[in-house]
Amino acid sequence: MTAAPPPEALRAPLVVEFPFTRSLGPVQSAFLTGLRERVVLGARTSGGTVLVPPAEYDPATAEELRDLVEVAPAGTVTTWAWNDRPRPRQPLATPFAWVLVRLDGADTALLHALDAPGPDAVRTGMRVRIRWAAERTGAITDIACFEPVGPEGPEAPPLHPPAAAPHDGRFPDPVTRIVTEARLDYTHTPGRAQGAHLAALRGRRTVGERCPSCRKVYVPPRGACPTCGVATTDRVVVGPAGTVTTFCIVNIKARNLDIEVPYVYAHIALDGADLPLHGRIGGIPYDQVRMGLRVEPVWTADGRHPDHYRPTGEPDAAYDSYKELV
């Protein structure tokens, strides 16, 4: 006879999306506004080095940089990597090369994508130019990508980099902030202890875990005793009834929550548990809820956890029986 396989781990999609709004300082504002106007700006250090993309402070000396210059929209590949399988949200959907490009007039390189037919068409030192995005908003993606200069004919001799031309960095309607949208997709798995707790809730039971050292029962269990720092192991069914250890009266209606105010939110120590859970108290006027009130869970038809707790009708619990849990 073989042991029963462990239950399939619970899993659920978890999507994290964040549209950060970021302020641009004077240098980044000028650079990104410039891209919108098809002008590439760099920052010149006191030593004469031109940084493209520009920084607000010299990476070598930490000196403030405000001296802007215009550089060419064409340059030289300093290193590259061929990306056969573009990932979502990368600049091109077809295979492309990641490139660092030193634009003519600049001393540092800019990272972007190079649209080329294949890895054999790319090499360090090749000449490339910016392909501008059709719609530009003042973002690094206003550069759609780079493209080879003269891919068909014999390679043009490298241009002598022109001197970077001074630029006041002023444009009408400058971009002063950008929104950096991001989305990351995860598959969340709760692990052993929380998984068992969630599985038990399907059967409308609440399970905790007991610490082998201090014997306390934690619910919902996280797999360890925070006092002893050891794994909790023994599974213990607690409740269903419990005692209100403390509570508050909520007077502000939460968005997207169909509960009339005022209502009571309470800490409830389920019978047999050494840690109170949170829950809403119903079935009793809000101003009659009290510490020591005995309550039991109320489930709705498709609920994955108790909708709320209501009085059992038992006499109140003596304070001494729950004072350690307040």
Partner 1 sequence: MPRHERDIAVVAFAQSDHRRRTDDLSELEMLLPVLDEVRERTGLRARDIGFTCSGSSDYLAGRPFSFTMTLDGVGAWPPISESHVETDGAWALYEAWVKLRTGQADTALVYAYGKSSPGSLRDVLTRQLDPYYLAPLWPDSVALAALQARALIDAGDTDEEALAAIAARSRADAAANPHAQLAGAVPHGGHQVRPLRTGDCPPVGDGAAAVVLAAGDTARRLCGRPAWITGIDHRIEAHSLGVRDLTDSPSTRLAAQRAGLFTAPVDTAELHAPFTSQEVVLRKALRLGRSTAVNPSGGALAANPVMAAGLIRIGEAAARIHRGASDRAVAHATSGPCLQQNLVAVLEGDRA
Q: Which residues bind partner 1 (CB under 8 A)?
A: 6, 9, 11, 14, 16, 20, 22, 24, 28, 32, 51-53, 55, 59, 78-84, 87-91, 98, 100, 102, 108-113, 119, 124, 139-141, 178, 180, 182, 184-195, 222-231
Shortest Å distance, C-beta 254 to partner 1: 20
What is the β-pairing status of strands 230-231 and 224-225?
Answer: antiparallel
Closer to partner 1 by Cβ: residue 159 or 230: 230
Closer to partner 1 by Cβ: residue 179 or 318: 179
* Contact assessment for residue 130 and residue 106, using Cβ atoms and an 8 Å cutoff: no
Closer to partner 1 by Cβ: residue 9 or 163: 9
CA distance 291 to 219: 20
Closer to partner 1 by Cβ: residue 52 or 317: 52
Shortest Å distance, C-beta 223 to partner 1: 5
Shortest Å distance, C-beta 271 to partner 1: 23
The per-residue b/e assignment along 250-282, b for 16 or more CB within 10 angstroms, e otherwise, is: beeeeeeeeeeeebbebbbbbebbbbbbebbbb
Shortest Å distance, C-beta 226 to partner 1: 4
Closer to partner 1 by Cβ: residue 11 or 204: 11
Shortest Å distance, C-beta 109 to partner 1: 3
Instruction: Measure the CA dihedral 39/37/143/112, to 10°.
Output: 30
φ, ψ at 31 (rounded to 5°): -65, -50
Shortest Å distance, C-beta 221 to partner 1: 10
Evaluate the CA torsion angle 140, 143, 144, 148 in order and state its sign. negative
What is the β-pairing status of strands 206-210 and 217-218?
Answer: antiparallel
From residue 274, how far is each of 143, 211, 219, 232 by CA, in Å? 60, 10, 8, 13
Closer to partner 1 by Cβ: residue 182 or 248: 182
* Contact assessment for residue 179 and residue 211, using Cβ atoms and an 8 Å cutoff: no
